Structure 1
């Protein structure tokens, strides 16, 4: 799948944190940066928007902002989504840009994943298992196979990869 990256995750986070309305919500509810998410599809292969998610440790709610070059929009605050602690993303631990991460993931997928991806999910989050910030790239195919790659956000090293069928 061909794709083009026009908007970086770090720019989306900065845009949220510099937006007066979003900043007010983040400060008022003592929210922490929990994850950053984007999706690429054959219909929209340009990465030009991100969902930036903030977690409220007291209520367990997740607040989602859709961020583009032009705007920051509060999409929703979902009811309790986590019963366990969510750790904040430490932005200083995100050294490898999404451009290199996605390129590395797609190169690995060409070797290990014999299916044409229909959707690509990109998530940056803190991973408790690896005790570090982690990119998770998940490729979905129309025949219900998925390929999940976890990449260390500091080193760019592929931590794990696996192919699964959704019905197994």
Structure 2
């Protein structure tokens, strides 16, 4: 083997090693990012994540108004066989600094700050026809879209204005 062939082999080896190291580093960074940010939360954490919406900066000027008034969360439908309002009340709203309450009483629609729709139990024919401009309609799904049974194909576009999902 001559000098040029030896240099070429060393260069190829260095290049292959560099590509391998970069690929391993990329996989490690991707794994750490996934574990830190996209891990699968349990569905009972959703009210706590929804509560963080009320902590956002655009509400800081109205902080006194927020804490003086109770926030009503309307669970439009159940989470499979669970009473979603009961789950929110028992598991997620115990320490809510905004005095949040949850109900599944649909007659409270006009008073609700947030209306939560568990998408797997939602029928397009069973949706409120309108909402106030200050009201949030929450798209609640704890599964991948692949497992929704096709209900996403029948829901109106741009109907929901906030999401609660496993990908928070």
Greater strand proportion: 1
Higher relative contact order (CA 8 A, sep 6+): 2
What interval of TM-score do these two structures reach, taking the shorter chain for normalisation?
under 0.3
TM-score (norm 2): 0.24
Question: Which structure has the greater CA radius of gyration?
Answer: 2
TM-score (norm 1): 0.24
